Amino acid sequence: MTSPIAAVDAVIHAPKRLAAMAILDATESVSFSFLREHLQLADPDLSKNMSALQAAGYVRVAKSGRGRGSTTTYTMTRSGRQAYHRHRAALIAMLDAPGAPP
Amino acid sequence: MDDLQQELRAAERAAATPFVDEPRSEAWYPLLMAAFVTAMAAGPVLVAHGLGFPGFSLQALALAAVAFYYVGHHQRAGAVPRMRSAPPEVQRAYVVLLVGALAVVIVSVVAWSINGWPSGLTAVFLSSLALVWLYERRLYPRAVTLLRERLA
């Protein structure tokens, strides 16, 4: 039997990225400003974390407009959704594992 | 392990935000949706009466109005919620909406077959208005309240 730790995704495991992936999993698409407001992150911090998810192939980014009116929108990819669900299942399995505190 | 539990809880709260923080629809939204459904039902009636262009135009106009509304709404909200990933409280409200839509169809078909298309279209408008109002002003807010309480 494989340990649930083996299924933990290093890219998603960071708390800010886990929360971002949770929002992305619950949406068809989400804007940069929505993520910034709900994750309460500064622009550079959010950009850095979203770039890591994009580099892993877990999110797609679309930009529209220019200047102050421009918007950045993120969509979760199929592999991102699979990775998120695998990671979440691994965390739950670790909590349910024998020896885990109640 | 406490950290893991907290992380999962934080993720669950984050996943709920697109549903919890969705902007409340405008007071006229049920009217828009009722008019949309009625226009879609009225289109074939006009076509059957030899009024093809007005029939198709009415449907196109209704589709354009609803699409225009949703684009604006999602821009304001900043997120497009994914119903398949909705929390159980919201999914239950959505199931009631779907059952209600079936009831709208049955009531309208019965009214239409007994009293003809004027009564049928009136039934379509009134029953869909009541259903959308119920979902937007009672079922969805109630689901959000229950969800907030669970995740508090």
Kindly report, residue by residue over B49-95, the tens digit of the pLDDT. 888 899 999 999 999 999 999 999 988 899 999 999 999 999 999 99
Contacts of A71 in chain B (CB under 8 A): 75
| Interface contact A28, partner B, CB < 8 A | yes
Q: pLDDT grade, residue A98 (50/70/90)?
A: low
Distance between CA atoms of residues B88 and B108, nearest Å? 30
Tens digit of pLDDT for each residue in B114-126? 999 999 999 999 9
A38 vs B52: CA distance, rounded Å: 49
pTM: 0.86
Distance of CA A9 to the CA centre of its chain: 11
| Chain A contact probe: residue of B71, B85, B94 with most A CBs at under 10 A | B85
Q: How far is CA B53 from CA A29, B58, B64, B65, in A?
A: 36, 8, 16, 18
ipTM value of the model?
0.84
